[in-house]
Structure 1
Amino acid sequence: MNTQATPSPQFYLTAPAACPYLSGEMERKVFTHLVGPRAGEMNDLLTQGGFRRSQNIAYRPACEGCRACVSVRILAGEFSLSRNMRRVLSENDDLVGTMSAAQPTTEQFVLFRKYLDDRHQRGGMSDMSALDYAIMVEDTHVNTRLIEYRKRVPGAGIGDQPKGELIAVALTDLMSDGVSMVYSFFNPALERRSLGTFMILDHILRTQQLGLPHVYLGYWVKGSAKMNYKTRYQPQEHLTPRGWERYAEDGSEA
């Protein structure tokens, strides 16, 4: 009988810093390292417990006196498309999403910089270099994939893989109970396509095809206008002190 103790993760607390979502608030995070042969299993457990992954770090908010950040996951098996969501899928039916290993390319980085320069000029990621981007993609010990969304090449046959224009990219973790959308970016000039919405819908459809229940969207921040979009994908669950509970779009627990 093996009596050797299983190593437990060590957790750490960051120093207070200005909250990037709510003016006047300070944020702190609790975090641990995701390394070693059990990293994938640990990532599953921590994500289900409200953590997010960034490179080889799993973290969650640990702010004093504020509980605005709430973990959100879509119930993929029960999800149905709204009329507007069908329109978004139709608008992007000329795109092909290809999943591959988490390997960065120059083409991806050019699109990433275009996205940051348009959407996040003053954010914490605004000065990321090509090396920083490569680390963001490659520094993972879990089952991480990249999905590239490209324009379909006219006349391409079944099995052909010609490379059309790169429109959007998603960095995604595959988990035992679904997928976790780690980070996504797209060509900001193509606003009419609603590419952010399209990628979430594509992940929901992929999760349904896998027969898995959840798409993890990260944190919804109550009071932050730029996070309001996350509550549109119903039905969904929010992680509360009582565990995962259904959340209605009107703000009530379903």
Structure 2
Amino acid sequence: MTTQVLVERRGERLALTLNRPERRNAITVAMYAALADAIEAAADDPAIRVITLEGRGVDFTAGNDLADFMNELPQDGQQDVPVWRLLRALARNMVPLVAAVHGNAVGIGTTLLFHCDLVIAEEGTRFLMPFTDLGLVPEAASSLLLPRMAGRRVAARHLLLGEPFTVEEAERYGLVSHRADAGGLEDRLEAVVVNLLAKPPQALRLTQSLLRGRDHDEVLNRMEWENGHFSERLKSDEVREAITRFFAARAAKS
């Protein structure tokens, strides 16, 4: 298992931490596999009552590690690609999942939050889904969940135009459940976890299941639809040109 994702059992809590701060926690294929393994395993472990997800360093995550991702292009019909495994695991997860985010939450760093039960964001967090800028399409069923949560026009701002949004906006949309002052994210997370663990465990899991409703098939079907387009787009000239421009711009800044 990669050391770029820390998987720690802390009593009844499974703590997952993105641990690649030198690259702003850009997520590699190995990191996706580690996250998918951990969340899938938690489903079969009744002793785990809460899952938490954090990122070390200045950002929650800068999204995909594009160089790594382009070297491991998903093939048509592949269902065991680590990123797709992680997204399905998130959609099916029945253990209360709490994310604590700060800095930048880019791409999947934002879309995976749609599948968390509670999201705590530190003041100053910036959310961004730049899929169209990269010649790509949304993933994680965000094309279904964001319009449902915030309305079609808001979704168009952030998925068509790729406009970033703030903690205040994320709270208004319903993506963020709790806000933390600068420097207070860890304390806020710990308080939420303690509160959850004080609840009767069966009542907690049943309530989480009821809140998620019966839309698993709809969400998984939308993910499959998005994933098909995403895989096709990865082979397109538009994507290759956009990613070439991205790396050229990054090199010019360094």
Normalised-by-shorter TM-score class: under 0.3
Considering fraction of residues, name the structure with more strand: 1
Considering fraction of residues, name the structure with more helix: 2
Higher relative contact order (CA 8 A, sep 6+): 1
